[in-house]
């Protein structure tokens, strides 16, 4: 946008007034010194009056500048401010211009040269300060130099006539330089306005991008929540079904169903991981442990996947121990290895580590398609996939590397990539080395444990009847007594006659209620710190932070049965009997 004349004038005035205030001292000193040098017994009164008038006119100019800066120069006031400023500069120029009439002595060459030197010097100095406001400088210098030039010409002396003509040329040159300088200042101000417009436009575009990103996050959170609900119920029903007497053919069909369910759950878990990273709720629990059990677990799970593609997956044994969060580290390495297998057509994948001083480098090598420099910059972005314009489902969502980078930052483990097109890639993760002596323990994270009867009373709170019933059916298989409530009021009514051992509540209930609020009400009603568990399908960063702030253990839908079992076993109060009747009541 091109700034208006008034906007330009206001900026010129601000710049000029700032210069004047910073250079206010020299002119009065010059006037005092000049009056003292030129004064004699006959002219001292006239020069004294001239000096006083010159200083007062200079103070008036300074006052006008300070008042303008203090009160603010708006574009609407700029023309009035300029007219007033021109008026006080005409007065100041006249005061300086009458100096030759009072102190010019044709008989004294020294005094004449001194007076003309001061007049030309003041004109040049004024150009430096008044140049942005060219009309004000023009008004000042025409009177400040015009009066002496006319006086010299009227002296009827050829030498002074020549001096007057030189003064005219000097005045013209000063005006030319001031005009060019004013244009340069104008261009600079206009460029500053353009830059401000660009900054504002960039700010608006950034705001639009942030709004679009927030809308994307809200959409993904809403879609993920709505998708997780039926997938979660499906998983619970399949787990309950697996404990019925199924024929081999039925078991095979159930296994296929579980594979399809697992694929859906993994995609939803990827969306959840991204949301948790964005929400900043990933809190590492670092400890010292050996890498070899983790390497063996990854090899046993992913090597068959590589073999089905005709690839060789190798894992080098190691005795190294590191300090990290084993769960998050497994997630990172699993994503890196899965990505390597997915984009390798022939050859193989290698997982190994090496010591580098006090650090350990875990490396994942592959002989895949490789990446160009531009692809390497893009590959860690969310939903970015290499050579998959059709978005084939078998290649995932394009979140694996973004999750790996986010988790590596949460752990403060630098993750780097080196790759050559057609040759393959290597991902390096740097971890601190553990020097402590560790007792070798098998890596058990994620391993299913035998599910013995739990024998506890569980209050299930969920406003989705299908999910609530699926949860209750599964709890029955674990020798639990489940009660189902769909709201806060129903849950409070149930605990009046049935005291649960554990509460399992959905986080987002109907009518704006949350599971954490309902659990707090139940604890207050029972007067005890009732063991509780939150289950949520939300992936919104705000919701995740709210749920984590409650301090209640949180699990995410779709929930795997072993995961739920382990959490209930952990929350199960000590001393709960295991001899519940074999014929358990159906859930309400």
236 or 211, higher pLDDT: 211
- Per-residue pLDDT, averaged over 148-175, amounts to 87
Q: Let me know whether 458 and 373 are in one domain.
A: no
Tokens representing residue 252 in the block: 């095979």
Check residue 514 and give its pLDDT.
Answer: 86
Neighbours of 186 (CB within 10 A): 17
Whether residue 238 sits in one domain with residue 270: yes
Q: pLDDT tens digit string along 511-549?
A: 778 888 899 999 888 888 889 988 877 666 666 677 777
456 shares its domain with 411:
no
Contact by Cβ (8 Å): 292, 321? no
What is the structure's pLDDT at 585? 37
Domain termination residue (choose one: 432, 460, 488): 432
Count CA atoms closer than 13 A to 175's CA, side-chain side.
17
Q: Is 53:65 a contact under the CB 8 Å cutoff?
A: no
**Residue of 24, 22, 49 lying closest to 35 (CA atoms):** 49
Residue 435 has pLDDT above 60, yes or no: yes
Which CATH number does the domain housing residue 468 bear?
Answer: 3.40.50.2300
- From residue 538, alpha-carbon distances to 136, 268, 505, 506 in Å are 67, 11, 13, 10
Cβ count within 10 A of residue 269:
19
Q: Give the Cα separation of 170 and 127 in Å (integer).
A: 13
Report yes or no: 282 and 328 within 8 Å, Cβ to Cβ: yes
Measure Cα distances from 29 to 24, 58, 198, 557 in Å. 10, 11, 45, 83
Q: Does residue 476 form part of some domain? A: yes
CA distance 400 to 313: 19
Among 137, 156, 175, the domain-final residue is: 156
Q: What is the pLDDT of residue 352?
A: 92
What confidence score (pLDDT) does residue 467 get? 81
Q: Which residue has the higher pLDDT, 583 or 182?
A: 182
CB count within 10 Å of CB 146 equals: 16
Q: Which residue has the higher pLDDT, 462 or 381?
A: 462
Name the residue with higher pLDDT: 470 or 588.
470
Residue 578 binned pLDDT confidence (cut-offs 50, 70, 90): very low
Sheet with strand 502-506: strands edge to edge? 481-485, 457-461, 502-506, 532-536, 554-556
Q: Which pLDDT belongs to residue 583?
A: 35
User: Phi and psi of 117, rounded to 5°?
Assistant: -65, -45
Q: Is the residue at 30 inside a domain?
A: yes
Local confidence band at 216 (pLDDT 50, 70, 90 cut-offs) = low
Segment 474-486 mean pLDDT? 87
Is 493 a member of any domain?
Answer: yes
Alpha-carbon gap, residue 92 to 374, rounded angstroms: 65
| C-alpha–C-alpha distance, residues 55 and 35, integer Å | 12
Mean local confidence (pLDDT), 453-464: 87
Domain range holding 362?
287-432
Average pLDDT over the chain, rounded to an integer = 80
272 belongs to a structural domain: yes
CATH at residue 401: 3.30.565.10
Beta-strand ranges (E) seen in 454-562 are 457-461, 481-485, 502-506, 532-536, 554-556
Mean pLDDT throughout 223-244? 68
Determine the average pLDDT of the residues in 95-105: 82
Residue 382 reports pLDDT greater than 80: no
Is-contact 274 332, C-beta < 8 A? no
Residues 389 and 456 in one domain: no
Query: Do 503 and 457 meet the contact criterion of CB atoms below 8 Å apart?
Result: no
Banded pLDDT at 222 (limits 50, 70, 90): low
Domain assignment of residue 50, yes or no:
yes
- Position 263 scores a pLDDT of 60
Give residue 431's pLDDT band: very low, low, confident or very high (50, 70, 90).
Answer: very high
Residue 94 lies in a domain: yes
**Are 14 and 151 found together in one domain?**
yes
Residue with tokens 């009660």: 483
Considering the domain architecture, whether residues 322 and 386 belong to the same structural domain is answered as yes
Does the pLDDT at position 421 exceed 60? Answer: yes
Local confidence band at 439 (pLDDT 50, 70, 90 cut-offs): very low
Q: Are residues 317 and 384 in the same domain?
A: yes
pLDDT score, position 582: 36
pLDDT band at residue 94, thresholds of 50, 70 and 90?
Answer: very high
- Average pLDDT, integer, range 66-74: 85
Whether residue 564 sits in one domain with residue 503: yes
- Which of 374 and 460 is assigned the larger pLDDT? 460
Residues 353 and 253 both lie in one domain: no
Share of the chain above pLDDT 90, in %: 11
Contact 159, 109 (CB under 8 A): no
Whether 243 is in a domain gets the answer yes
pLDDT score, position 141: 92
- Tell me: do 9 and 151 sit in the same domain: yes
Nearest Cα neighbor of 155 from 166, 143, 163 is 163
Q: Are residues 492 and 468 in the same domain?
A: yes
Q: Residue 305: what pLDDT?
A: 87
Residue 437 lies in a domain: no
Counted domains in the chain:
3
> How confident is the model over 10-62, as pLDDT tens digits?
888 888 888 888 777 888 888 888 888 877 756 678 888 888 988 898 888 88
pLDDT given at position 581: 37
pLDDT in tens, 322-363: 999 888 898 889 889 988 898 888 899 999 999 888 899 999
Q: What are phi and psi of 432, to 5 degrees?
A: -75, 140
- What confidence score (pLDDT) does residue 206 get? 87
Same domain, 428 and 452: no
Find tokens 């190294």 and name the residue. 320
Length reported for the chain: 588
């Amino acid at each position: 946008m091109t700034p208006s004349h008034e906007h330009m004038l206001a900026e010129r005035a601000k710049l000029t007034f700032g210069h004047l205030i910073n250079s206010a001292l020299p002119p009065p000193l010059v006037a005092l010194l000049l009056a003292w040098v030129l004064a004699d017994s006959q002219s001292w009164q006239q020069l004294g009056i001239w000096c006083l008038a010159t200083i007062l006119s200079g103070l008036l100019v300074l006052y006008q500048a300070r008042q303008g800066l203090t009160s603010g120069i708006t574009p609407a006031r700029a023309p009035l401010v300029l007219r007033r400023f021109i008026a006080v500069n005409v007065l100041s120029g006249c005061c300086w211009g009458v100096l030759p009439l009072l102190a010019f002595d044709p008989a004294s060459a020294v005094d004449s040269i001194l007076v003309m030197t001061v007049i030309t010097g003041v004109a040049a100095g004024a150009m430096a300060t008044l140049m942005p406001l060219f009309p004000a400088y023009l008004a000042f210098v025409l009177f400040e130099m015009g009066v002496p030039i006319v006086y010299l010409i009227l002296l009827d002396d050829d030498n002074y006539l020549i001096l007057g003509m030189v003064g005219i040329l000097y005045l013209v040159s000063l005006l030319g330089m001031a005009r060019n300088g004013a244009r340069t200042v104008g261009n600079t101000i206009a460029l500053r306005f353009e830059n401000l417009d660009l900054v504002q436009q960039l700010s608006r575009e950034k705001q639009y991008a942030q709004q679009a990103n927030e809308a994307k996050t809200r959409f993904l959170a809403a879609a993920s929540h709505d998708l997780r609900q039926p997938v979660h119920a499906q998983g619970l029903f399949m787990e309950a079904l697996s404990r019925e007497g199924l024929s081999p053919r039925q078991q095979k069909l159930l296994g296929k169903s579980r594979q399809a369910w697992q694929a859906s759950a993994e995609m939803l878990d990827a969306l959840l991981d991204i949301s948790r990273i964005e929400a900043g709720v990933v809190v590492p629990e670092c400890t010292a442990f050996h890498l070899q059990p983790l390497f063996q677990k990854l090899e046993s799970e992913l090597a068959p996947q590589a073999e089905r593609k005709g690839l060789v997956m190798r894992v080098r044994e190691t005795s190294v121990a590191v300090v990290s969060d084993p769960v998050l580290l497994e997630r990172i390495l699993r994503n890196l290895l899965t990505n390597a297998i997915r984009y390798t057509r022939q050859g193989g994948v290698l997982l190994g580590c090496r010591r580098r001083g006090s650090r350990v480098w875990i490396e994942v090598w592959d002989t895949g398609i490789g990446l160009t420099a531009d692809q390497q910059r893009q590959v860690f972005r969310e939903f970015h996939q290499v050579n998959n314009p059709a978005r084939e489902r078998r290649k995932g969502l394009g979140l694996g590397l973004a999750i790996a980078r986010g988790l590596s930052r949460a752990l403060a483990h630098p993750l780097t990539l080196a790759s050559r097109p057609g040759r393959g890639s290597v991902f390096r993760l740097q971890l601190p080395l553990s020097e402590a002596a560790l007792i070798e323990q098998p890596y058990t994270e994620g391993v299913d444990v035998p599910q013995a009867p739990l024998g506890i009373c569980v209050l299930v709170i969920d406003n989705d009847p299908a999910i609530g019933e699926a949860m209750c059916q599964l709890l029955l298989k674990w020798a639990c007594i489940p009660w189902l409530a769909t709201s806060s009021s129903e849950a409070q009514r149930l605990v009046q006659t049935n005291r649960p051992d554990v509460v399992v509540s959905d986080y987002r209930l109907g009518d704006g209620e949350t599971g954490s609020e309902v659990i707090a009400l139940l604890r207050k009603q029972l007067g005890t710190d009732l063991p509780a568990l939150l289950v949520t399908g939300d992936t919104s960063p705000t919701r995740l932070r709210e749920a984590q702030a409650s301090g209640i253990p949180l699990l995410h839908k779709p929930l795997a049965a072993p995961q739920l079992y382990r959490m209930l076993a952990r929350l199960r109060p000590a001393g709960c009997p295991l001899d519940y009747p074999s014929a358990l009541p159906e859930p309400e």
